[in-house]
Amino acid sequence: MAGNTFGTLFKLTTFGESHGKAIGGVLDGCPSGLILDMEAIQNELDRRKPGQSAIVTQRKEPDTVVFYSGIFEGKTTGTPIGFAIYNTNQKSKDYSHIKDSYRPSHADYVYDKKYGFRDYRGGGRSSARETASRVVAGAIAKQFLNGISINAFVSQVGSLRLEKPYSELDLKLTESNAVRCPDPDTAARMESYIKEIRKEGDTVGGIISCVIKNVPVGLGEPVFDKLHADLGKAMLSINAVKGFEYGSGFEGVKMKGSVHNDQFKTDGTTITNNSGGIQGGISNGMDIYFNVAFKPVATVIQSYETIDKDGNMVKTQGKGRHDPCVVPRAVPIVEAMAALVLADFTLLNRTIKL
């Protein structure tokens, strides 16, 4: 299987399956001498872990990371950082009903056709549990990017949308509620709605917005390695993501060029920021901001028709422990992937200046 590695210099390779012994990764390219805050790394995992509130999957996993290499006396050595997160609460029997059939909108069918064999327990390698390894690596990347702040938050659940621009929000409030929406009133309505959806045995999607501040001018390349292109690839690699837009995004098509253009000030900054902090594929020093759209979780706890491996129509029902809405737990994943991209481009930028 290809496609298990992300990055060029600051490079992450992940391993493991949802119901295997462990998931984990190898992070290569992290410079030596970086003092790591282990508590901060674990805190990022705790933000992503299951069972943390009434509106997420009730799978109980401590998600404690264990490091095996690349760190000595609290500092990175410059060698590959190997780590694992051991699975302790698998209930593989919850998936026996899909051993010979395919769940709609899951990777089951295409995985079987591509590889001829699949681990059906929780989705195996295609499970979103793999993203815990990304969060560990992203937490290290955040510490490498000292001074650059990356803040993601839930801005929409279903049709419930946070209307305020991020500049009017107190992003410190993001962690004050289970939904991870920095507006308390909107968060309360979102949480109630997710609970209603859960009672119906259904699921709902949403949008995560992300703001990156204090990015220096010059990250990214003008042709194939554009900064926003790699951010888009990073976000679209996350399970259940269906869309990515940065800056003015799709709303920009409604504007005239004379309005959309970001007028310069004498210090090189711009009056507006429709470019989303990136021009010509290169960061311009302004805030980078983008939206990531997540589809409703494909597993619904309802009866449905599908096909089995022989092409016969069969009737089955969703089972197991699943998120009625994935976006609250995906906030740290979005931040992690953004951090990995910025760390990679920071190192690439250093090679240009050597």
Structure tokens at 6: 């992300």
Model pLDDT for residues 255-304, shown as the tens digit of each residue? 999 999 999 999 999 999 999 999 999 999 999 999 999 999 988 877 88
Query: At a CB cut-off of 8 Å and minimum separation 6, what does 21 contact?
Result: 86, 87
Q: What is the per-residue pLDDT for 93?
A: 54
Q: What is the per-residue pLDDT for 321?
A: 65
AA identity, residue 121: R
Model pLDDT for residues 56-72, shown as the tens digit of each residue? 876 677 899 999 999 99
Question: Helices 131-144 and 327-352, interaxial angle, to 10°?
Answer: 50
Least reliable range by pLDDT among 58-62, 89-93, 228-232: 89-93
Grouping H, G, I as helix, E, B as strand and the rest as coil, residue 327 is helix
Angstrom distances, CA of residue 66 to CA of 12, 42, 71, 335: 16, 10, 11, 21
Instruction: State how far the Cα of 241 lies from the Cα of 327, in Å rounded to an integer.
Output: 10
Grouping H, G, I as helix, E, B as strand and the rest as coil, residue 6 is strand
Q: What is the per-residue pLDDT for 110?
A: 84
Q: What is the per-residue pLDDT for 301?
A: 79
Query: At a CB cut-off of 8 Å and minimum separation 6, what does 202 contact?
Result: 296, 300, 301, 302, 324
Radius of gyration of the chain (CA): 21
Residue written as token pair 């990304």: 134
Q: What is the per-residue pLDDT for 115?
A: 85
Residue ranges of domains in the chain, CATH in brackets: 5-352 (3.60.150.10)
Q: What is the per-residue pLDDT for 102?
A: 81
Query: At a CB cut-off of 8 Å and minimum separation 6, what does 302 contact?
Result: 201, 202, 317, 318
92: left (phi over 0), alpha (psi -120 to 50) or beta: alpha
Please, what is the average pLDDT of the chain? 92
- 21, β-bridge pairs: none
Instruction: State how far the Cα of 193 lies from the Cα of 154, in Å rounded to an integer.
Output: 14
Q: What is the per-residue pLDDT for 290?
A: 98
Residue 332 binned pLDDT confidence (cut-offs 50, 70, 90): very high
Q: What is the per-residue pLDDT for 160?
A: 98
Of residues 160 and 320, the one with the higher pLDDT is 160
Our separate counts of H helices and E strands in the chain read 7, 16
Provide, rounded to the nearest whole percent, the portion of the chain with pLDDT above 70: 94
Residue 95 binned pLDDT confidence (cut-offs 50, 70, 90): low
Q: What is the per-residue pLDDT for 97?
A: 67
Angstrom distances, CA of residue 233 to CA of 7, 57, 184: 11, 27, 31
Confidence check: pLDDT of 89 > 70: no
Residue 94 binned pLDDT confidence (cut-offs 50, 70, 90): low
Q: What is the per-residue pLDDT for 277?
A: 98
| pLDDT average, residue stretch 305-313 | 84
Using DSSP bridges, classify how beta strands 160-161 and 282-283 pair: parallel, antiparallel or unpaired.
unpaired
Instruction: State how far the Cα of 274 lies from the Cα of 271, in Å rounded to an integer.
Output: 10
| pLDDT average, residue stretch 7-21 | 93
Instruction: State how far the Cα of 62 lies from the Cα of 68, in Å rounded to an integer.
Output: 18
Longest dimension (CA), the chain: 68
Instruction: State how far the Cα of 58 lies from the Cα of 291, in Å rounded to an integer.
Output: 27
Model pLDDT for residues 267-279, shown as the tens digit of each residue? 999 999 999 999 9
Instruction: State how far the Cα of 17 lies from the Cα of 36, in Å rounded to an integer.
Output: 27
Would you call 261 exposed, middle or buried from its count of C-beta atoms within 10 A (0-12, 13-18, 19+)?
middle
Model pLDDT for residues 119-148, shown as the tens digit of each residue? 777 677 778 899 999 999 999 999 999 999
Structure tokens at 320: 């197991």
Cα 341 to chain center, whole Å?
A: 12
Burial 318-351 (b: 16+ CB within 10 A, else e): bebbbbbbbbbbbbbbbbbbbbbbbbbbbbbbee
